[in-house]
Amino acid sequence: MTDVERRTALEAIAAEVRVCTNCRLHETRTKAVPGEGDPETEVVFVGEGPGFNEDRQGRPFIGRAGDLLVKLLASIGWRREDVFITNVVKCRPPDNRDPQPDEIAACAPHLRRQLEVLDPAVIVTLGRFSMATFMPGARISQAHGTVRPVDPATGARSATVFAMYHPAAALRTPAIERDSYADMAGVPATLIASRARRESAQAPQPEPEPEPETTPEPETTSAPSQATDDATPQLTLF
């Protein structure tokens, strides 16, 4: 898929998100937040849901948590324009409450289609609700900074998922902020490893070499030669 085709496909998904009424969150939103970033990126960051500022502007991670995400990216020499940023739910839950399971399920097709278009090598989850989408059953206190293969059913055909705390949690707790910088430092190596794995999987496999042709020996009724006798295991009878 070309850059233009990806941009067109992502904008078509975004247009549907902006008018989506698949769950109750559309009743209280100001603007839906489809996501944004480089359509050619190999890395997608997935948060939980829009907050107050995102709801007003229709863009992901532009409040204080977004400022910290920009700093985290800068710590490895990346910009937010180098990646794609989105959320598991595209509309703000009222009063910034946790997204409910049925709301996440209603939004899942939008995220799945985005990942099908982007085909990332790495998905970085931000927060426990995002992590639960790609690492079911994991606990973020134990899983942050770790990787797993992504289930292709999520839309990411051959990606690696890398778990991180949500930047909002890092703003509240200095220890989590330190962990977040340490975790982010591991993302580039994860990308390199995932890229190599994908390239290896896509490389054409060499065809097996044909077995050398053999000419059958002519049948004979004479006694086997001594060489044949020596080469054939003999049974010893007791």
Q: Tell me the pLDDT tens digit for each residue of 146-194.
A: 999 999 999 999 999 999 999 999 999 999 999 999 999 999 999 999 9
| Residue listed under structure tokens 């598991």 | 88
pLDDT, tens only, 162-174: 999 999 999 999 9
The DSSP H or E segment spanning 198 is helix 187-202
Q: What is the pTM of this model?
A: 0.84
CATH architecture of 3-201: 3-Layer(aba) Sandwich (3.40)
List C-alpha distances in Å: 31 to 60, 90, 167, 216.
11, 9, 22, 79
CA distance 173 to 159: 30
Q: What is the pLDDT of residue 212?
A: 60
- The pLDDT confidence band at residue 222, using thresholds 50, 70 and 90, is very low
Mean pLDDT of the chain: 89
Nearest to 128, CA basis, from 90, 178, 164: 164
Residues 6+ apart with CB under 8 A from 164: 124, 125, 126, 144, 145, 180, 183, 184
Q: Identity (one letter) of the amino acid at 52?
A: F
**How many degrees, rounded to 5, is the angle at CA 125 between CA 131 and CA 113?**
95
CA distance 148 to 126: 15
Q: What stretches of 105-206 adopt beta strand conformation (E)?
A: 122-126, 147-149, 160-164
Take residue 78 and report the two structure tokens written for it.
């990346």
Residues 6+ apart with CB under 8 A from 63: 51, 52, 53, 54
| CB atoms inside a 10 Å sphere around CB 228 | 9
pLDDT, tens only, 78-104: 999 999 999 999 999 999 999 999 999
Greatest mean pLDDT range, 66-80, 188-202, 212-226? 66-80
**How many degrees, rounded to 5, is the angle at CA 68 between CA 17 and CA 158?**
55
Nearest to 40, CA basis, from 1, 94, 3, 9: 3
